[in-house]
Structure 1
Amino acid sequence: MKTLKGPGIFLAQFAGDAAPFNSLDSIAAWVASLGYKGIQIPSWDKRLFDLDRAAESQDYCDEVAGIAASHGLVITELSTHLQGQLVAVHPAYDAQFDGFAAEHVRDNPAARQLWAVDQVKKAATASRRLGLAAHASFSGALAWPYVYPWPQRPAGLIEDAFDELARRWRPILDHFDGEGVDIGFEIHPGEDLHDGVTFEMFLERVGNHPRANILYDPSHFVLQQLDYLAFIDIYHDRIKCFHVKDAEFRPNGRSGVYGGYQGWVDRPGRFRSLGDGQVDFGGIFSKMAANDFAGWAVLEWECALKHPEQGAAEGAPFIDRHIIRVTDHAFDDFAAGGADRALNKRIMGIG
């Protein structure tokens, strides 16, 4: 068994224009003061990280790693959640997702998609330069508007959508393989890879590619009422990244899983700060330890009620308490009698 690394923190929800959130150096000092040991860096936020430079310059990557190290931190993973989303965008979402892209490719879906592919590939190269083993991203979605089939989906629509999704991602996965980095797709509603079934559909189409893996975040499984502990049992070999995020689901007589178009405060399913929701983190950390997950436990803070700075301050000790320092021997070794084949035969009455 292996002991998880942590606590880490995803910086995306905390980056801002005011200090200490407006530079890598200052935000690293802040999270280190809270007890974090690792940072997951959003690759699209130039206040913290320049992806283009990182893909080209080992010196720049060494500088970024040095800034983290100066505060006693390491980089856990880079993230391309926004760029990965743009690898596959259904036309219904073109206007909304344009804001994720560089200005020069907006209002041009074909150019935006090529830009997104290039960005994710650059993140693979940058990850290799930083000495990272895994990367966090989204799959994007072509089929999501048809998740609830009314009117009924035309025959073959979902199959064609996943064929195209795999066609777009296969060369990216091959690039990750060349760089020696796993990509962890966050299994997330809104993405075509939103549960185990859809991940398997994709995995089959990319030939069980060794670099096609999972970012595990139990909060999204609570909101869609999926067994998040059994998920670890089934897919532990493919889980390469771990977002520690809480959630709750409290259906009522007026609203359930779909949320009634309500804001986050009023939805039956909503994200919460660590310890304020319903996720069984004791069970999760136990299964991660038992299944030899050797990656990072990274806080992704999202909560409709609590201030982010309070959530961040509470998150580090929460994760630290749940990390299991795995044992190197069985608890009852003291009573072992040693190996004695003759004794074994006598016990079983074998001549």
Structure 2
Amino acid sequence: MKEIRGPAIFLAQFLRDEPPYDRLDTIADWVASLGYKGIQVPSNDARCIDLDLAAESQDYCDELAGRCAERGLAITELSTHLQGQLVAVHPAYDELFDAFAPAELHGKPAERQAWAVEQMEKAAIASRRLGLKACASFSGALMWHLVYPWPQRPAGLVEAGFAELAKRWRPILDVYEDNGIDVAFEIHPGEDLHDGASFETFLEAVDFHPRANILYDPSHFVLQQLDYLGFIDRYHERIKAFHVKDAEFRPDARTGVYGGYRDWAERAGRFRSLGDGQVDFRQIFSKLTHYGFDGWAVLEWECCFKHPEQGAAEGAPFIADHIIRPTPYAFDDFAGGSEDEGKIARALGIEN
């Protein structure tokens, strides 16, 4: 067994235009002071990284990693969630998703998609230069507006949708293969890869590409009422990244899974700070350790009640307390004996 690394923290939800949250160096000082050992870096945010330069310059990547190391931090993964989202966007969402791209691309979906693909490819090269193993991302969605089969979907629609999604992602996955980096798709509502079944369909469409993998975040499974522990048993070989995020699902006579268009605090399914929700992290860390996951346990803070600074401060010790140091010993070693072929044969009642 291998040991999960951590605690780490995803910076995206904490960046803002005031110190110490406005620059990589100062926000790194802050998270290090809280006890974090790693940071997941949003590759779209120039306050953290110049992705274009990172894809071009080994010296820049070495300097960036060195600045983090001076603070006792490692870069765990680059996040390309926003760029990955733009690889596949249904026209109904074009205007809303324009916010994920530079202003000069707004209203230009074809150019925006080409930019997103280029960004994904640059992130693969930058990840290699930084010595990383995986890149966190979203798949985007062509079919999310069709997730509920009403009106009835015409025969072949889902197959055609996944074929198009695979057509867009296969060349990107090949670039990641060339650079030795896994794409860890966060399985997430709003994405065409939103549960195990949709991931399997995509995986088949890309011919089981070795770089098509999973970012495991149990909070999204709580909100979908999916077996998040069984998910690890089924897909552990493809889990390459891990967001430690809590959630709760409390349906009543007013709202359930779909949430009734309510704000987060009024929904039945809500994201919570670590320890405030319903996720069984003891079992999650046990299962991931059992299956040999040696990636980072990364806090993603999203809570409708608690202040982010409190959530971050509580998150580091919470994760550290759940990381299991694998034992090289069996608990009953004291009662065992040395290997003896004769003893083994006699125990089995066979001739030696």
TM superposition score normalised by structure 2: 0.99
Residues 296-338 of structure 1 show CA distances to partners (whole Å, capped at 9, x for unaligned) of 0000000000000000000000000000001012111111112
Partner of 2:231: 231
Partner of 1:65: 65
Q: 1:114 offset after TM fit, Å?
A: 0.4
In the alignment, structure 1 residue 216 sits paired with structure 2 residue 254: no
Q: Which runs of 5+ in 1 are unaligned?
A: none
**Which amino acid counterpart does residue 4 of structure 1 have in structure 2?**
I
Partner of 2:104: 104
Equivalenced residue count is: 351
Identity %: 71
Q: 1:340 offset after TM fit, Å?
A: 2.0
In the alignment, structure 1 residue 11 sits paired with structure 2 residue 14: no
Q: 1:350 offset after TM fit, Å?
A: 2.4
Partner of 2:206: 206
TM superposition score normalised by structure 1: 0.99
What secondary structure sits across from 1:52 in the alignment?
helix
Q: Which runs of 5+ in 2 are unaligned?
A: none
Q: 1:341 offset after TM fit, Å?
A: 2.4
Partner of 2:195: 195
For residues 128 and 2 of structure 1, what CA distance do their matches in structure 2 show?
A: 23
Partner of 1:34: 34
For residues 349 and 25 of structure 1, what CA distance do their matches in structure 2 show?
A: 68
**Which amino acid counterpart does residue 273 of structure 2 have in structure 1?**
S
In the alignment, structure 1 residue 25 sits paired with structure 2 residue 28: no
After superposition, residues 206-285 of structure 1 pair within 5 angstroms as: 206-285=206-285
For residues 33 and 21 of structure 1, what CA distance do their matches in structure 2 show?
A: 13
What secondary structure sits across from 2:240 in the alignment?
strand
Q: 1:344 offset after TM fit, Å?
A: 2.4
What secondary structure sits across from 2:12 in the alignment?
coil
For residues 323 and 31 of structure 1, what CA distance do their matches in structure 2 show?
A: 18
Q: Is the 8 A contact 1:24 1:67 kept in 2?
A: no
Residues 280-300 of structure 1 show CA distances to partners (whole Å, capped at 9, x for unaligned) of 000000001000001000000
**Which amino acid counterpart does residue 171 of structure 1 have in structure 2?**
P
Q: 1:73 offset after TM fit, Å?
A: 0.4
What secondary structure sits across from 2:229 in the alignment?
helix
Partner of 2:117: 117
What secondary structure sits across from 2:264 in the alignment?
coil
For residues 158 and 122 of structure 2, what CA distance do their matches in structure 1 show?
A: 30
**Which amino acid counterpart does residue 212 of structure 1 have in structure 2?**
A
What secondary structure sits across from 2:7 in the alignment?
strand
| RMSD between aligned residues | 0.7
**Which amino acid counterpart does residue 133 of structure 1 have in structure 2?**
K
Q: Is the 8 A contact 1:138 1:186 kept in 2?
A: yes
For residues 101 and 92 of structure 1, what CA distance do their matches in structure 2 show?
A: 16
Q: Is the 8 A contact 1:219 1:271 kept in 2?
A: yes
For residues 154 and 342 of structure 2, what CA distance do their matches in structure 1 show?
A: 69
